[in-house]
Chains A and B, each alone.
Chain A
Amino acid sequence: MKVYRLRIAVQAISFIILIYGGLFYIDMGNRMPTFSCAYVDDRGGGCFLIGFQHMLSRPFGEFLGDAGIRLLKAMGIFALWSIVLNKAWCGWICPFGFLQDMLSKIRSFFDVDLSRFGWITRTRYKSVKYIFLVLLILIPLGIANSFFGLEKIPRDWSVPFCQICPARVILPVFNGDFSQIHIDFSSNTTMVLTTIVMVLVALFFTTAFVKRRFFCSYCPMLALLSLFDKIGLLSLKKNGQRCTRCGNCSRACPMEIREIEEEKVLTNLVTQDCTLCLRCVEVCPEDKALETRFCGIPIFTASQQGFLKRQGLDEESHTNKNGA
């Protein structure tokens, strides 16, 4: 089976499990490193970020006791999930990523060219997800505590990221729940935040249509997951000696990562923005130049033969029978 087909299948199955799993009594816990939104009623598992923000909004003193242990436990579960599958959570499981991939498919079906970031923009844009990450940690802390004697942040700001997360509005729709599509006029804060989310939803559809995985480039979950880049059991390795730097990998990369092509020395290529979709390995025509490993065991390796097969050439009659 071709890997991109397998990936779509896995993404579709994960989408069904994460959005409708509740109907089949599936519950995978609320600490998943993926956008299985907690606002979806029939979800099969919950996004880590919402619980994380809730747990953070406590006075500092409480972290020394029960709340601290609960926070550590939640982070431990999150870390375990992340270490096992690494960024494959983004490339293979995330329902929000799946939606973006589907929008890209629709775009290429209608023959619309994809747009790319300039190199400088791409590099600058990397930091945006960290801004989101820092804010989603600091604001909840600021609700329960006062920093430097300043006033506490009002309660309306609780779970700030979820309030502006377009997945909260879009994913429940698949569950038949349109109630998230509204602007909340109950206070100034909620009005502003819900307006922002509506703008982001509109932007999500337009940007994901012209550009592959636009949302992912500022997703704070990706920033959190990238803590485990180097220790994840699933890894992406490169053999620089075999690489001809033909650029196929970086051109096909939905996240437009250039390191995959340029790097000649480093072997671990799970970079900050990598979603481990393995598209680069698929389009690499050099034997063993790129390799995916799980616990050090190669599971998917770049090869000439595989490359041609995936390019639509059926080469059974041409294969080298002697292995010479």
Chain B
Amino acid sequence: MDKQEKRKRLAKKIQLNLAMTVGEIFDPIDEDTTRPKKMAYFDRIFKTFTQGGEGAVNRKKTQKLIGTYCLFVPEEIIYAAGGQPVRLCAGAYESVEVGEEFLPDSACPMVKSEVGFTTLPVLSFYQQCDLVAIPASCDWKAKMAEIIHDYVPVVMLDMPKVKEGEASRAFWLSEVKRFTKEVEKVTGMRVTRSRLRGAIQMIQKAQVQFRRFHEIRKAEPPVIHGRDALEVLNAYFYDHVESWTAAMATLNDELEERVNNRESVAKPMATRLLITGSPMVFPNWKIPTVIEELGGVMVADEFCTSNRYLHDKVAVDEGLLSDMLHAIADRYLLPSCCPIFSTTIDRRDRLLQLIKDYRAEGVIYHILKGCHPYDVETRIIEKLLQDNGVPMLKIETDYSPQDVEQLRTRIEAFMETLKGQRHKEKS
């Protein structure tokens, strides 16, 4: 009884801290008048975090809630089975200490935060999940199911690490089929040909808005901040795909108007930065906020929570159920630039293309402490960028707000060198 009381109190404390963090983030944002008005829809979702996340997930009462991690769990299948997916990747510093009870120190803050939210009732949708699908992507995720299976029903999806092979593709397809069966069991609804086709189209429509949004972000001067771009994609974690698509369409309309009126969110000649590495999830927005405060602009990112999330498309060829499942399996595995895979070819090409498309002057490589896959790839990416004459700043940090001032100094210095380089190129 005493122990339960303690946990309740801890939950209450974390809830309050989280509410404070959310407030700290949104107070200056709400005062910002240059921000697109239509962002309010997305802000609402995150503001619910102050009240235990009730209402963050957009679903009907009868709909089953399927929690997902990483970007390997096929959402098309969940929608086709009548469920509502919610991506549970977490970025809150507050719940990290709870997760530390279950995980070693060397674990990344993301997995600690996720375990924290699952084991302690702070955000309601973490406990409400009828099934949580965890891909065995990195080592932390591989072990996660066993850690949290007392709290929520879990299904593990095994991931091949060498995606080029024939066997790994067939294996992943079989995992996707197994996942389909598991979801069907939970929702009690069969994934049929027409339902799956409908779900694929629903997500394709969201992808239309997603790609349109990224097309707009290429505009000069920039009409939206990188942090806001992270936010809209972060909102996709919780929202129903159709309402998200509708909200995105109105936001895109507003942004296009801004492009026409040449309304900028940054000063002219602001430093254009691209950010890559470990994903940043709300409320871990300290780096984008610092960049913005320093007068720079994060023109693009290469995160699995943002730019990579909805980029790749399922191509329906013959329209048979098996063909569509095959297409879905391929879409989630093959084009993924996640560093858990053996090669960096796709990520390298994608980065260079992004730098070119968004005319980024420098790259910030963000590593969460304990995120080994991204850490391993640093050298390769550093060399690639060096060869292409793009300066890179490596930042290793966690969710704690303590190092913000130190980060500010480093990022400022980096932006100064970029400016110096720009002058040199001009003269």
> Are A246 and B334 in touch, CB under 8 angstroms?
yes
> Are B320 and A318 in touch, CB under 8 angstroms?
no
CB distance from A36 to the nearest CB of B (A): 28
Chain A residue numbers with a CB within 8 Å of B319 are: 108
> Are A241 and B317 in touch, CB under 8 angstroms?
no
Q: 14 A–B contact pairs at CB < 8 A? A: A114-B320, A118-B166, A241-B352, A244-B350, A246-B312, A247-B334, A251-B327, A279-B317, A307-B313, A311-B315, A311-B316, A315-B208, A324-B215, A324-B259
- Given A113-B320, A113-B322, verify A307-B315 contact (CB < 8 Å): yes
Interface residues of B in 311-337 (CB under 8 A from A): 311-313, 315-323, 326-327, 330-331, 334-335
> Are B208 and A318 in touch, CB under 8 angstroms?
yes
> Are B205 and A313 in touch, CB under 8 angstroms?
yes
Chain B residue numbers with a CB within 8 Å of A285 are: 312-313, 315
A119 at the interface (CB under 8 A from B): yes
Closest to B193 in A: A111
Partner among A246, A283, A308 whose Cβ is within 8 Å of the Cβ of B335: A246
Closest to A262 in B: B164
Please, how many angstroms separate the alpha-carbon atoms of A94 and B33 in the complex?
A: 64
> Are B256 and A320 in touch, CB under 8 angstroms?
yes
A252 at the interface (CB under 8 A from B): yes
> Are B260 and A322 in touch, CB under 8 angstroms?
yes
Chain A residue numbers with a CB within 8 Å of B322 are: 113
Partner among B201, B212, B331 whose Cβ is within 8 Å of the Cβ of A246: B331
> Are B315 and A318 in touch, CB under 8 angstroms?
no
> Are A283 and B219 in touch, CB under 8 angstroms?
no
Partner among B211, B260, B353 whose Cβ is within 8 Å of the Cβ of A304: B211
CB distance from B229 to the nearest CB of A (A): 15
CB distance from B129 to the nearest CB of A (A): 29
> Are B212 and A318 in touch, CB under 8 angstroms?
yes
> Are B327 and A320 in touch, CB under 8 angstroms?
no
CB distance from B225 to the nearest CB of A (A): 17
B209 at the interface (CB under 8 A from A): yes
Chain B 185-229 near chain A by CB (<8 Å), digits 1 or 0? 000000001000000010011001101100110110000000000
CB distance from A76 to the nearest CB of B (A): 39
Chain B residue numbers with a CB within 8 Å of A241 are: 349, 352-353
Please, how many angstroms separate the alpha-carbon atoms of A321 and B166 in the complex?
A: 42
> Are A245 and B334 in touch, CB under 8 angstroms?
yes
> Are B201 and A320 in touch, CB under 8 angstroms?
no
> Are B259 and A242 in touch, CB under 8 angstroms?
no
Closest to B166 in A: A119
Majority-rule SS of B interface residues: helix
Please, how many angstroms separate the alpha-carbon atoms of A110 and B215 in the complex?
A: 41
Please, how many angstroms separate the alpha-carbon atoms of A312 and B314 in the complex?
A: 12
- Given A248-B313, A283-B315, A320-B212, verify A242-B353 contact (CB < 8 Å): yes
CB distance from B314 to the nearest CB of A (A): 8
> Are B259 and A322 in touch, CB under 8 angstroms?
yes
Please, how many angstroms separate the alpha-carbon atoms of A279 and B316 in the complex?
A: 12
A58 at the interface (CB under 8 A from B): no
Interface size of A by CB at 8 A reads 35
A230 at the interface (CB under 8 A from B): no
B249 at the interface (CB under 8 A from A): yes
Chain A 281-324 near chain B by CB (<8 Å), digits 1 or 0? 00101000000000000000000100110011101001011101
> Are B215 and A320 in touch, CB under 8 angstroms?
yes
CB distance from A127 to the nearest CB of B (A): 19
Closest to B205 in A: A313
CB distance from B176 to the nearest CB of A (A): 14
Interface size of B by CB at 8 A reads 42
B345 at the interface (CB under 8 A from A): yes
A7 at the interface (CB under 8 A from B): no
Closest to A280 in B: B315
A54 at the interface (CB under 8 A from B): no
CB distance from A24 to the nearest CB of B (A): 35
Chain A residue numbers with a CB within 8 Å of B352 are: 241
> Are A251 and B215 in touch, CB under 8 angstroms?
no
Chain A residue numbers with a CB within 8 Å of B208 are: 308, 313, 315, 318
CB distance from B49 to the nearest CB of A (A): 31
Chain A residue numbers with a CB within 8 Å of B164 are: 262
A59 at the interface (CB under 8 A from B): no
A22 at the interface (CB under 8 A from B): no
Closest to B321 in A: A111
> Are B330 and A251 in touch, CB under 8 angstroms?
yes
A21 at the interface (CB under 8 A from B): no
Interface residues of A in 91-144 (CB under 8 A from B): 108, 111, 113-114, 118-119
Please, how many angstroms separate the alpha-carbon atoms of A262 and B334 in the complex?
A: 11
CB distance from B413 to the nearest CB of A (A): 32
Chain B residue numbers with a CB within 8 Å of A246 are: 312-313, 315, 330-331, 334-335
Closest to B346 in A: A245
- Given A251-B330, A304-B211, verify A108-B320 contact (CB < 8 Å): yes
Closest to B223 in A: A324
Closest to B260 in A: A322
> Most chain-B CB neighbours within 10 Å: which of A118, A241, A245?
A245
Please, how many angstroms separate the alpha-carbon atoms of A243 and B350 in the complex?
A: 9
Given contacts A118-B166, A247-B330, 8 further A-B contacts (CB under 8 A): A114-B323, A240-B349, A244-B335, A246-B330, A247-B334, A285-B313, A308-B204, A311-B313
> Are B219 and A248 in touch, CB under 8 angstroms?
no
Please, how many angstroms separate the alpha-carbon atoms of A321 and B212 in the complex?
A: 10
Chain A 152-186 near chain B by CB (<8 Å), digits 1 or 0? 00000000000000000000000000000000000
> Are B315 and A252 in touch, CB under 8 angstroms?
yes
Closest to B343 in A: A245
